[in-house]
């Protein structure tokens, strides 16, 4: 099994366990469950920088990125920096995150929050909504078309936006449907963890104009974003570039100033 297969297998077991501890009705009683939609796609369309900043402690490819800062500190810093939204890793085993991170970020900010997770079940969408998320990630590499349809429809019903992540043309073509809001091109190969912006360049013309285009991973500087904007990208997910610093919010602020200056 490659790393992606292992993560998904573990995630399915985790969801089964969580369902026995906290039924959906438990999460549906959350005070946050009836929040209105705070649209990331609209913010990206209106933004000159399009930055989606990420909170990530570690990853399978980099064992430790930054475990020293509280998620509240990072979230406040990102919002002050003027990013469009924040991605919060909630996987514990491989990325060191949790749903508590999402709740803590929601408690101190107003911008859109993405639950970044390996979603395999509608239950995880209900969890996301209950913890303050505004959008969820669906990964085409781990889902069949019917599953993407089911999950994205459920997300709409919960007033959550959907960012659909693809890595190649095959995944893109199987996934396109009107229940998606944004198409994210992940420049990192989830099987090898190698990164190349060429993936975003190649797939850009294949993404229909009704979807907001988002480029994910491997974005190192303002020049990368300026080039990708010429390919129609309006959103840019930046994680390690900010999180590897002692002050991610300050790093994001400087990055946006370079873009908009």
- Joined tokens for residue 175: 């996934």
Exactly one of 122, 161, 165, 171 is catalytic; name it.
Answer: 165
Q: Which long-range contacts (CB under 8 A, 24 or more apart) does 207-212 make?
A: 207/172, 207/183, 207/232, 208/176, 211/176, 211/180, 211/181, 211/182, 211/183, 212/41, 212/44, 212/45, 212/181, 212/182, 212/183
How many other C-beta atoms can be found within 10 angstroms of the C-beta atom of residue 32? 15
Exactly one of 47, 187, 217, 241 is catalytic; name it.
Answer: 217
The single residue listed with the structure tokens 């985790």 is 14
Exactly one of 79, 171, 216, 240 is catalytic; name it.
Answer: 216
Exactly one of 116, 129, 154, 213 is catalytic; name it.
Answer: 116
Choose among 179, 128, 171: nearest CA to 151: 179
Please confirm, yes or no, whether 217 is among the known catalytic residues.
yes
Choose among 181, 171, 170, 215: nearest CA to 196: 215
Please confirm, yes or no, whether 165 is among the known catalytic residues.
yes
- Pairwise CA distance, residues 219 & 221, whole Å: 6
Exactly one of 11, 41, 49, 56 is catalytic; name it.
Answer: 56
Exactly one of 103, 152, 186, 215 is catalytic; name it.
Answer: 186
How many other C-beta atoms can be found within 10 angstroms of the C-beta atom of residue 23? 12
- Pairwise CA distance, residues 32 & 37, whole Å: 11
What number of H helices and E strands is found in the chain? 12, 8
Exactly one of 11, 47, 49, 54 is catalytic; name it.
Answer: 54
Residues with catalytic roles: 54, 56, 116, 165, 186, 216-217
């Amino acid at each position: 099994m490659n790393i992606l297969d292992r993560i998904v297998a573990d995630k399915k077991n985790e969801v089964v366990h969580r369902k026995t501890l906290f039924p959906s009705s438990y999460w549906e009683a959350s005070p946050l469950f009836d929040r209105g939609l705070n649209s990331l796609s609209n913010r990206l369309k209106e933004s000159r920088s399009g930055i989606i900043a990420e909170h990530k402690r570690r990853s399978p490819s980099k064992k430790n990125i930054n475990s020293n800062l509280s998620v509240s500190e990072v979230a406040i810093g990102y919002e002050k920096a003027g990013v469009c939204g924040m991605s919060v890793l909630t996987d514990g085993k491989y990325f060191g995150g949790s749903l508590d991170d999402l709740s803590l970020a929601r408690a101190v900010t107003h911008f859109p929050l993405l639950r970044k997770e390996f979603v395999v079940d509608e239950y995880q969408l209900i969890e996301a909504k209950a913890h303050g998320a505004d959008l969820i990630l669906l990964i085409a590499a781990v889902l069949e078309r019917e599953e993407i349809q089911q999950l994205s429809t459920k997300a709409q019903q919960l007033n959550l936006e959907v960012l659909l992540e693809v890595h190649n043309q095959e995944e893109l073509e199987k996934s396109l449907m009107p229940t998606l809001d944004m198409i994210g091109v992940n420049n990192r190969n989830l099987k090898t963890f190698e990164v190349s912006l060429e993936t975003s360049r190649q797939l850009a013309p294949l993404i229909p104009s009704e979807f907001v285009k988002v480029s994910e991973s491997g974005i190192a500087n303002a020049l990368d974003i300026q080039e990708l904007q010429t390919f129609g990208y309006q959103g840019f997910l930046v994680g390690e570039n900010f999180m590897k610093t002692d002050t991610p919010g300050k790093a994001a602020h400087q990055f946006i100033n370079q873009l908009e200056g």
